[in-house]
Structure 1
Amino acid sequence: MNNNRRNRRLKIHTQTLGVLAMSLILIGRISAAESSTTLKLIGSSAPEIQVQGNYSLCLPVLTGSGALTRGNNLTIDLSGKLSPISTQGSATATLTPLAILQLSAGGNIGTGWSIPFGDEMEGIQVDRYGTEPEDDAFGGIYLKGKVGAALQFDTGVLFPGPWKSILLRSYHEIHHTAYTGADEDELWDFELSGGRVNGFNYYASYFIGYRMPLALETVGVLLEVDELDLGGKMFPDPFYTIGLVSNIRIGKTFSMALIPQITTRKIDKDTRTSSSENFFFKRFAFQLEWKR
């Protein structure tokens, strides 16, 4: 009997010490964490405009002494977006186990409404009758879950110097998007981004750029690939978008990005369906960013 009591007490003490050890480790990680706040104004010639706020918490994890592991971390991003016709919130966790590799997972939630501006702008539309999408303001919730991986490299790591930084990044993502106000195979359009159906999609981006010690900090080319409704027949071809990226640094806390884009995705303004065409001008996008 006494032996059983001693064993139970020993087990309880061991568990308590384990919890305390984990707590101390967690406190140490949090105390070494870095946080940042970002505000963005995003717009384009489409026309479109959006305000976005972001809070990031970066925790050092799996760190080592080598060049590939020195900056390893786990970053938690919480953001909110507001446009004249929609709102969204999102959370993303990004693990950097190596300097050249990032793994991420996250989700978005949002909804939309309409405003009488010229041709009425509708934040969420649903085609329930196989003719044209109709306004469905606050009729459901937009949901998105995603997992992704990125490979990235900066030649400035191998060749130190202010003019030796060539940036390479390849990102690949599988995400599931759904609108709770639409049934299976019903076309819906959120934020005037083009019709889609509930289901899985694939997104990829490829960036090559050059970073300089100037106010014009980065220039580069960004290729984006969208494959909608994986396994379905509604969107048989992938869509491509190419952008020329210029990022201008304005002091320590402000920056501005300018991105003219061409695309192969043609969106019918009435039916919101998409077709693959030869490249044509899509929009001139800009982003003003303040980061602290």
Structure 2
Amino acid sequence: MAEPSRRSTGRHKGGARVHFRAPSQYARGVTEHVGLYTSAYAGFDAREQVRRRTYGDDLGQSGWLTSDELARFADWLDLHPGSHLLDIGCGAGGPTLRLAEARSVSVVGIDILAEGIATATELAQERGLGERATFLRVDAAGQLPFEEGSFDAALSVDAMCHLPDRLHILRELHRVTSAGARILFTDPTIVTGLVTSSEIAARSSIGVYVYSDRSTNEQLLAEAGFELLRCEDLTESTSVIAARWHDAREDFRDALVRDEGESTFEGVQRFLSACHLLAHERRLSRYAYLAVR
């Protein structure tokens, strides 16, 4: 897929042509820091083994999402055959495609990382979902390249924490969703206790993160025009998954070091250790926010 610069084009619901903006300085910063995510898109056997040990049901994910959690989110969003879903921060598209298959919905996934979009597009074709699943490289920090009311639902799993101007993206979601549409996002960087500067540095070592308290997301949703339906604490699963992920990577240390390099491997391990400790002690928490337009 072409870089989203100047006059690159794509299509969305209804076949309308859209234009991508040049990546923001923020987006360029993200792509320089996300070694964990870019390496996760490779079809590398050891990495697939790590995902299976971490999650059980391997969706191709690279975060805190499980298949049970995804099914619950689909219920909350009231997805049904024919629904049009936008997934912000779709990564390699595994969870997005699971929803397309399981709920017979049409999906558009967007992400800033070219590796993820390329993998997602290839997987959609392999699974015969090319007509119902579209993946675009888009900088969500800018204006979304969709018309008003294009989607019946929107999902963003553990991606909002990478966007400094959260009110902007929530307003954009309000613009591109239809009346009565539900949106759901998870935020794994909610400050719920005392966190040291060194812990913040370790937790932020793989990318750009924005930390907030629980009420800030609720306030921003209201300011963007949404009504909060539920806010659920998902922190326990984050603690468990971080520990499993760390230990599974240790079991495949030699293969992963050959692929990633020792510095990246050790950096990811420190990141996962910090995630586990902070979640286990409930000092950084993960919440899901469900709202209606």
TM-score, normalised with respect to structure 2: 0.27
Q: Which has the larger radius of gyration?
A: 1
Q: Counting helix residues as a fraction of each chain, which structure ranks higher?
A: 2
Higher relative contact order (CA 8 A, sep 6+): 2
Q: Counting strand residues as a fraction of each chain, which structure ranks higher?
A: 1
TM-score, normalised with respect to structure 1: 0.27
